[in-house]
Amino acid sequence: MPALISQQRIAQTGGGSVAVLTFERPERLNALPDLTDGDEVAGICEAINADLDVRCVVLSGAGRAFSAGGDLNAMRERRDLFQGSGAAIRESYRRVVHRIVRSLYGLEVPLIAAVNGPAMGLGCDIAGLADIRIASDRASFGVPFLKLGIIPGDGGSWLLPRNVGYARAAEMLFTARSIDAETAEQWGLVNRVVGHDALMDEAMKTASQIAAQPPRALRMSKALLRQGRDMNFDQTLELSAAMQALAHLTDDHLEGVQAVLEKRPGVFTGD
């Protein structure tokens, strides 16, 4: 099967690199997943996590869609991911769909979704996995699972209420209506909306600012934000103290202090 994602590493002046990932199925509106997509996405994310030089990831889609979500033809024909018994389909979701979303959610560096067009179903939930979401004015978002007689099998029922609140998540899911980019910004689903032609420039501008940060402290900061959503305040304080102790012992910490005192940008190496 053809690869789902193309990759590009872009070095940043004075910082690390940005990994640009692009869904490359424009003729299918970047529908997913094929049976090999879980392994592919997991391998990409594992390589990024192992490379301290990568400090940010930008994810977008080729063509006019970010991702239309599940392949409706495969659903209709009950093939690939959707074939076999209920037990077989359950296992396919765990092995393919869940591996995709777990891998993207498990990225240790910040993930920016540059949403260039419709993000539907699984596509909407993948965009929702990102730490920062920037939308083209041509983007739209929807979770039309009920319209298809199915439920969010990708963890979206956990994710969407955390992004837009319970009531708005309920409205999107129960009505199966899509929202446009402006509404997504008002609801907090995206950070901001920009003109379509400016989307990647805006995403890369933000990614470049992130890539200038010290890589170990950056990864620890993301972990604190993510884990803090499900910990109480005392647990967060304990984890913060442990991570802060490690951060204070890095050369990057000393470089950061010196750079501020000298009124210059820091140059961080991960040491």
- Torsion, CA 43, CA 49, CA 51, CA 52, rounded to 10: 170
Q: What is the mean pLDDT of the chain?
A: 95
Q: Which residues contact 131 (CB under 8 A, 6 or more apart)?
A: 110, 111, 112, 222, 225
Distance (Å) of CA 49 to CA 31, 128, 271: 26, 20, 16
CA angle centred on 153, ends 225 and 26, rounded to 5°: 90
Q: Which domains are delineated in the chain?
A: 5-211 (3.90.226.10), 215-261 (1.10.12)
Please, are residues 141 and 177 in contact by the beta-carbon 8 Å criterion? no
Give the amino acid at 103. Answer: S
**What radius of gyration do the chain's Cα atoms show?**
19
pLDDT at residue 1, as a whole number: 67
Of the candidates 55, 90, 103, 66, the one whose C-alpha atom is nearest the C-alpha of residue 189 is 66
One DSSP character per residue, 208-224 reads HHHHTS-HHHHHHHHHH
| Tens digits of residue pLDDT in 150-209 | 999 999 999 999 999 999 999 999 999 999 999 999 999 999 999 999 999 999 999 999
pLDDT at residue 132, as a whole number: 98
Mean pLDDT of 41-59: 97
Residue 38 has pLDDT above 80, yes or no: yes
Please, are residues 52 and 15 in contact by the beta-carbon 8 Å criterion? no
pLDDT at residue 13, as a whole number: 76
Please, are residues 26 and 65 in contact by the beta-carbon 8 Å criterion? yes
Residue 108 has pLDDT above 90, yes or no: yes
| Tens digits of residue pLDDT in 70-81 | 999 999 999 999
How many Cβ atoms are within 10 Å of 76's Cβ, its own excluded? Answer: 9
pLDDT at residue 74, as a whole number: 92
- Torsion, CA 44, CA 50, CA 53, CA 56, rounded to 10: 50
Residue 218 has pLDDT above 80, yes or no: yes
80-89 CB contacts, 8 Å cutoff, 24+ apart: 80/34, 80/35, 81/33, 81/34, 81/35
Residue 15 has pLDDT above 90, yes or no: no
pLDDT at residue 2, as a whole number: 77
